[in-house]
Amino acid sequence: MREFTCAGTGQRMTRLGVARALGVFTIFGLVGAGFGWHEGAGAQITNRTETLIFVAIIAALVLSFVIMSHPKSARSLGVAYTILEGFVVGVISAAYNALYHGIVEEAVGATFGVALVVWFFYGTGIINVTARLTRIITMAVLGAIIFYGVTLLVMAFGGPDLDGGGGILGIGISLVLAAVAASTFLLDFDRIDKLIASGASHEYESYGAFGLLISFIWLYLEILNILGRLRGGGGSIRR
């Protein structure tokens, strides 16, 4: 991993630095979420808001590919990505909150709780991130991406939602997706530790924080979805 090594007297990547970078991203994410919350204040999402969400998601997706290809760009592009994703999350959260008051606080608390449990399992060595486990999690993530893609494609052509609705099947699907999202924290923690062990430059702290941010957002949305289903909803906000 020679390309990650810092030169000479340069500053090295640390866990504290990753935490700081994550804190910065969180602040900008909350700014974006504030705008999104205003847009999604009612349970009925308008066509205008849907368009804004679509543009934000596409722009964030492009930025994520750039960041993954050029990790050092995470420090600057990560801020833009966070604002865009924050906007989308803000809209969705406000719409859910309009239907089920207090659900956002529950989802945030549960997300932090799950993330801490995964961190405990990783930090204590109860779960070791082996090459085999990495392959399993990677395949699960790819499967989830394919599921999301097929679902959106079917719905775009007027087909039924494949997420199982608000019944037991829907809750089961959401639980599986939430478990996959939670497992990605293991890859994030392992990647950060390997970068630190390799003597990576402090510029990669934002890259490590970026991975954690993606995992947190994904897990939060799935938990929000599960809580919505448990409260009797179909698990998604529609016009």
Range of the domain at 209: 2-230
Per-residue model confidence (pLDDT) at position 9? 43
- Would you say residue 30 lies in a domain? yes
Beta bridge partners of 200: 5
Please tell me the total count of domains within the chain.
1
pLDDT in tens, 199-238: 999 999 999 999 999 999 999 999 999 999 888 765 555 4
Q: What is the pLDDT of residues 89-125, one digit of tens each?
A: 999 999 899 889 899 999 999 999 999 999 999 999 9
In a domain, 237, yes or no: no
pTM of the model: 0.88
User: Is residue 235 situated within a structural domain?
Assistant: no
42-77 pLDDT per residue, tens: 666 777 888 889 899 999 999 999 999 999 999 999
Whose CA is closest to 206, among 26, 8, 9, 2?
26
* pLDDT tens column, 136-167: 999 999 999 998 888 878 876 766 565 656 67
d(CA 91, CA 232): 20
Q: Is the Cβ–Cβ distance between 90 and 39 less than 8 Å?
A: yes
- d(C-alpha 170, C-alpha 120), whole Å: 29
239 within some domain: no
